[in-house]
Chains A and B, each alone.
Chain A
Amino acid sequence: MGKTILVVDDSASVRQVVSIALKGAGYDVLQGSDGVDALKQLDGRRIHLIISDVNMPNMDGITFVAEAKKLPAYKFTPIIMLTTESQEDRKRQAQVAGAKAWVTKPFQPEQMLAAVSKLIAP
């Protein structure tokens, strides 16, 4: 049974590429286009890992992570934040909010896959 990953990014192409890569490795994938949408996607579902961008309209990634971590079902869910080199302070904020893993944008699909498989098996 594949484990489920929620991919949150306002870029449809990023979501699509990441999804294709993750599905190829045997994971199930859900997508969210921003923080608000992602919170809707959670909906009490068992999610094994969340990958979230930081900069998004409506609700940014850091707020989303903080909100998700408040829900008992996602208290311990590992979170990979998509950061950029120039956002060291945002990375720290994300860590405080509960995202302990990160992938630096821009990234290659295989880099994402490596980060994911350090955290959960398919």
Chain B
Amino acid sequence: MAFDDDEALDTFITEARELLESLEGGLLQLEADPDDVETINAIFRSAHTLKGSSGLFGLDHLVGFAHVMETLLGHVREGTVRVTPELISILLPCADHIHRYVEGVAEGRIEPSAAEVAESEALLARLAPFDSVAEVPAETAAAPSDETPEAAVPRAWNLRLRFGPDCLRNGMDPLALLRYLGSLGTIERITVDDSALPGASDMDPETSYLAFEAELSTEAPKSEIESVFDFVREDSDIRIVPRDQDEFIGRIASMPDRDRLGDVLQESGAVTPGEIDEALRIQRERTRAGGTVPIGQVLIEQGIAPPAVVEAALRRQLRTADSRSSDTQTIRIDAGRLDRLIDLVGELVIAQAGVGVHDRLSEAQSQVTRLIDEVRHSALALRMVPIGLTLRRFERVVRDVCVDLGKEVHLTITGGDAEMDKALVERISDPLTHLVRNSLDHGIESPDDRRRMGKPARGQLRLNAYHDAGSIVIEVSDDGRGLDRDRILAKAVDRGLVPAGAMLTDHEVFDLVFEPGFSTAETVSSLSGRGVGMDVVRRNVAALRGNIEVDSVRGQGATIRIRLPLTLAIIDGFLVEVGSSSFIVPLDRVTECVEFPADDRDHDHMNLRGEVLPFIRLHQLFGLDGEDARRQSVVVVEQSGQRTGLVVDALLGEFQTVIKPLGPLFSELKCVSGSTILGNGDVALILDVGPLITEYADLERTRYATSGYPGRRMAATRC
């Protein structure tokens, strides 16, 4: 609700320009002389005045922004926040921001543009670390009582008003308050009680002796009536009691469960929060004096609430205790129970899949299919939480690391409302921390280096999350030095990871940083150099069935992209058969399926379009009985750039798989991540492709050394 007066708005704009000029001048002066108290005061006043006057014109954006600045500057003034060049360098763009916004207002744009909102959020985020006390801007509009929503029907109230003896001397005139009271409704009856007037010789004409009793009929809630007497409350005795108690008693009886008497009374509208506080204060005093009194008794004795209403509230409270079912908004559920539900839904999905095979025609069946799918989605949604909270934790990390490293970095967080499985959120936090520190440590240059390269001294770090094709993608990007392709390649050749002279794409080169023991940083800092490399990050991500990749332009920055499934509970699987057993390969690991060439049967590798593809015979790996099928297939799987073929007897196609964790007995088992139940009731093991590939590679090496038999050894390590 803006104040609509062009002339006044012009005054405001002129004034705002002047204030900003002096604000800016002051900041620059402060940079030269950080202890100049006069300047600090002047700057504070500018922000303060800006906030105050913008509020009058309903410029809420500016009110909120200036409020944070004002609060921060207030702490500077009190000496709890120190003036540093860093502080100044952030306050100056804040002033610029206000300047641009004010010019927008001058052109008639009251609402900030999306860009301005984003800019202000970014600036406020940068201010925040300086002042942990900085809070959300105060509410602009005073809403007298929104917690007691009441139908606007006139109601009668009895008021007993005894004003403090000094109220007249304080300039508080009861007649003026009563006149204002009348504006809330109708004063049906009012009497002046002069019984406290002393004899003429004892009377001080400046002392207040009069009391008033009034009957007010109004639609306003009690809290609004009470607020009339805000300015005199401290020394006065103000009692406001509903005339029609039955209405409150009825409302209390029909109220949802409440634990506390005060809450019941407050919600009924019979008593205001302020009155409860007062009663509690009196109760505490009494307790201190040795006598414990119930709050209800205090309320009655003080005339705050009529006995009948208090009694009704007590009855209500008792009923709550009997049948307590608290918290209607959110329910805390044991995660195990939730898993059990999801598990059951999963089985339902499976069972239904079995039915679906036999009867695809029935319309009712397809209806059930759809419903089960929805149930599955909503069951999974129960585990979903926004990732924002996890991302926001990095504000602090960035700030602290920057202080340690003497760097200036601005963190932008976007997409914090993207949701993912709670279990995933918890487990992605460590890899993310590593990536953020890595960016700060090795990616973003020191301010001096940046300036030399013609970049802004302050680096940009961005955390972004979004949903993409059933996955969640989390990006960590910086505008730092980027990856040095040549150096990575040289090092890889040095370590024997790549043959010298190999022609690799950028992507292939960048992927090398995820190799174990690979680090290009010349100096190891206290932050990142903990022996935990990018290979661990990749392993962690892979363990969550995700993948990770890097994009980089030398000198301009790097983006690391983590792609994760939304949930760990259900995967899209690829069902294969080996002998009489079924296995599930996670579909996102499968790149293609090819026929097993008959002439490669005696080798352990095959030719796939000119490339050598090693393969694993699942039949042997798991020591299964029976002969190989006559025509076998190879499922090509890929993990972390490594490709391997899995030799199977039959391809049964895609299969939505509910993962059932293996029992503790099998916790040592490496190549299997879980099991699932098939439509026909059979159990299928879910293959864990990562360990399968690495484990097998290890075995290969051992085999060369000892001529052992890989399949048997693998089977032996299972239990």
Contacts and interface: CB of A to CB of B under 8 A. Distances in A.
B183 interface: yes
A118 interface: yes
A10 B172 contact: no
Contacts of A82: 52
B56 A104 contact: no
B52 A119 contact: no
A20 B5 CA distance: 9
Which of B49, B138, B176 is the most central at the interface, judged by chain A CB atoms within 10 Å of its CB?
B49
A71 interface: no
B126 interface: no
A57 interface: yes
A120 interface: yes
A109 B15 CA distance: 19
A73 interface: no
B42 interface: yes
Contacts of B56: 13-14, 17-18, 106-109
A32 interface: no
B55 A106 contact: yes
Given A86-B71, A106-B52, A108-B55, A119 B141 contact: no
B186 interface: no
B170 A86 contact: no
A76 B45 CA distance: 29
B168 interface: yes
A1 B5 CA distance: 26
A29 to B, nearest CB: 13
A63 interface: no
Given A100-B231, A106-B54, A55 B173 contact: no
Interface in A32-59: 49, 53, 55-57
A104 B138 contact: yes
B11 A16 contact: yes
Interface in B116-174: 138, 140-142, 168-173
B8 interface: yes
Contacts of B74: 86
Interface in B222-242: 228, 230-232
B142 A104 contact: yes
B615 to A, nearest CB: 70
Interface string B590-605: 0000000000000000
A12 B11 contact: yes
Nearest to A109: B3
Nearest to A112: B56
Nearest to B235: A100
A57 B45 contact: yes
B180 interface: yes
Interface string B48-70: 11011111111000010000001
B13 to A, nearest CB: 8
A111 B57 CA distance: 13
B179 interface: yes
B179 to A, nearest CB: 6
B456 to A, nearest CB: 32
A108 B11 contact: no
Interface in B1-30: 1, 3, 5, 7-9, 11-12, 14-16
B177 interface: yes
A11 interface: yes
Contacts of A114: 180
Contacts of A118: 176-177, 180, 228, 230-231
Which of B9, B16, B48, B230 is the most central at the interface, judged by chain A CB atoms within 10 Å of its CB?
B48
Contacts of B696: none
Contacts of B228: 118
Contacts of B231: 100-102, 115, 118-119
Nearest to B60: A106
Nearest to B228: A118
Contacts of B1: 108
B101 interface: no
A93 interface: no
Given A12-B15, A108-B58, A119-B177, 14 more contacts: A13-B57, A16-B8, A76-B206, A77-B171, A78-B170, A79-B171, A100-B232, A105-B55, A106-B56, A106-B63, A108-B1, A108-B3, A108-B56, A118-B180
Interface of B: 1, 3, 5, 7-9, 11-12, 14-16, 42, 44-45, 48-49, 51-58, 63, 70-71, 74, 138, 140-142, 168-173, 176-177, 179-180, 183, 206, 228, 230-232
Interface of A: 9-14, 16-18, 20-21, 49, 53, 55-57, 75-79, 82, 84-86, 98, 100-102, 104-109, 111, 114-115, 117-121
30 contacts: A10-B45, A11-B49, A11-B52, A13-B8, A13-B15, A17-B5, A17-B56, A49-B171, A53-B52, A55-B45, A76-B171, A78-B170, A78-B173, A82-B52, A84-B70, A85-B138, A86-B70, A101-B171, A101-B231, A102-B231, A105-B52, A106-B54, A106-B56, A108-B1, A118-B180, A119-B176, A119-B177, A119-B231, A121-B176, A121-B179
